[in-house]
Amino acid sequence: MITLAHAYIVGGLFFGSVALLSLLDRANARRFINFAFWGLLATSFLAGQYLGDLGNGVLVLGLVALAAIGLGQGKPPTTGAEERRASAEQRGNLLFLPALIIPAVALAGTLIAKETDWGPLFIDPAQATLVSLVLGVLIALGVMLIWLRPPLLAPMQEGRRLLDSVGWAAILPQMLASLGAVFLAAGVGEQVGALFSQYIPLDTRTMAVAAYCIGMALFTIIMGNAFAAFPVMTAAVGLPFVVHALGGDPARVCAIGMLAGFCGTLMTPMAANFNVVPANLLELPDRKAALNGVIRAQIPTAIPLLLANIILMRFLAFPS
């Protein structure tokens, strides 16, 4: 049976190759830092279960320190613009197909593991989607290696090219999920709950849902990042009120809550990648303004959509 442990080995080997290839890349002035960062992450994936809690904590401190110093950008060998255009012309829309293998295998694998009798022999039903996803990536890679005949190291080099452009932000979601554990242990949710219930009546479903969704959007506007707002608002309002006190379904509440946060992303200059970078690229005259043209074009969609999220959560998230 394939389990998450096998998926971690695949992940560890991927990060490990990125680390080694970074070390060999003389075009990157900070190659040692990149090597250490991706190497530590690979260590976590390959050996995290043997390191002990404190060992893992120290490993995370190392990752944070390296990220704070700053990672560099490597220059992996890849194809040029001309070569790519020729390949795109020649191969046509078939190029989209291998990318679709990944979600198709992930979905099929999940259904097989959960709905058939023989599925669990191959795929761990408890983590079916993630296992199937990694399986889908491996199958897609196999298809592409046969079809496109790139150099054997190309998947790692191309993966490194994209991973370098993501940088340390690659582990931000995992860090925020872990912060949730610390919040839980310290009782942050209960404390905020006590504070909130003194001032705002969160005892009806409609009020609690509205407070959670609007809170997600507002915190995202302030911080510029829905991922960062999520653990804070969900520990404060989402879990204690909407889920535990009023009977909301956690998966539905959180899925819609995150999207309420995305409505905030549309309205904030703090989300520079999405709202300021395009204003600069498109040479808008008001690109330096707090509410530049892009944000103003988005607000009239964001506000009705936030309202739609509140209504959807109110009517979908309470199955009983």
x/- string (CB under 8 A) for other proteins, residues 128-147? Answer: xxx--xx--x--xx--x---
Task: Give yes or no for residue 116 binding other proteins (CB under 8 A).
Answer: no
Q: Looking at beta carbons only, is 134 or 210 nearer to other proteins?
A: 134
- Which runs of consecutive H residues, i.e. helices, occur in the chain? 4-23, 31-69, 81-91, 96-115, 119-122, 128-148, 154-166, 172-186, 188-199, 205-223, 226-233, 250-265, 272-275, 277-281, 293-316
Q: What is the DSSP letter of 110?
A: H
Instruction: Please report the DSSP string for 61-85 in residue order.
Output: HHHHHHHHH-----------HHHHH
Per CB under 8 A, which of residues 162..201 are in contact with other proteins? 162-163, 166, 168-188, 191-192, 195
Interface with other proteins includes 7 (CB under 8 A)?
A: yes
Q: Which stretch binds other proteins (CB under 8 A): 26-34, 116-124, 204-212, 286-294?
A: 286-294
Residue 30 sits in the site that holds other proteins (CB under 8 A): no
User: Of 1, 24, 27, 64, which lies in the binding site for other proteins, with binding defined by CB under 8 A?
Assistant: 64
| Interface residue with other proteins, options 28, 34, 43, 44 (CB under 8 A) | 44
CA–CA dist 137, 15 (Å, integer):
15
Rounded CA separation 76/57 (Å): 31
Binding residue (CB under 8 A) for other proteins from 32, 122, 227, 318: 227
Counting residues that bind other proteins (by CB under 8 A) gives 147
At its nearest, how many Å lie between other proteins and the CB of residue 41? Answer: 7
Residue 211 interacts with other proteins (CB under 8 A)?
Answer: no
With the C-alpha atoms ordered 256, 261, 267, 269, is the resulting torsion angle positive or negative?
negative
